[in-house]
Amino acid sequence: MDDKTGVSITNRDRALRAWQNSTELVRDYQTYAQEIKDDQALSTLFAEYAEDEAVHAAELLKTLHGFAQ
C-alpha cells in the first residue's frame, strides 16, 4: 500500500492496464493500416504492428485469467 494515498496497486492491476493499452494499440494500428492508401509499405508496417500487439494482448489476457478473483 502506498503510504501517501492509501491505494495499493496490485500485479493484477498492472497486467489489466497493460492489456487495456495493448488492445487499444491493436485498434489504433489496424485503423492506421486501413486508412493509409498512398503508402503501402507504411500501411503494411502498421498491419504487422497490429498483429504483434495482438499477441501481447492475448498473452496478457491469459495472465489475467490466472489471477484469483
Q: Is residue 45 part of a domain?
A: yes
Q: Is residue 6 part of a domain?
A: no
Query: What domain range includes position 39?
Result: 11-66
DSSP line for 3-69: TTT-----HHHHHHHHHHHHHHHHHHHHHHHHH--S-HHHHHHHHHHHHHHHHHHHHHHHHHHHS--
Q: How many domains does the chain have?
A: 1
**What pLDDT shows up at residue 36?**
98
**What pLDDT shows up at residue 5?**
85
Q: Is residue 5 part of a domain?
A: no
Give, for all 69 residues of the chain, the pLDDT tens digit: 677 888 999 999 999 999 999 999 999 999 999 999 999 999 999 999 999 999 999 999 999 999 976
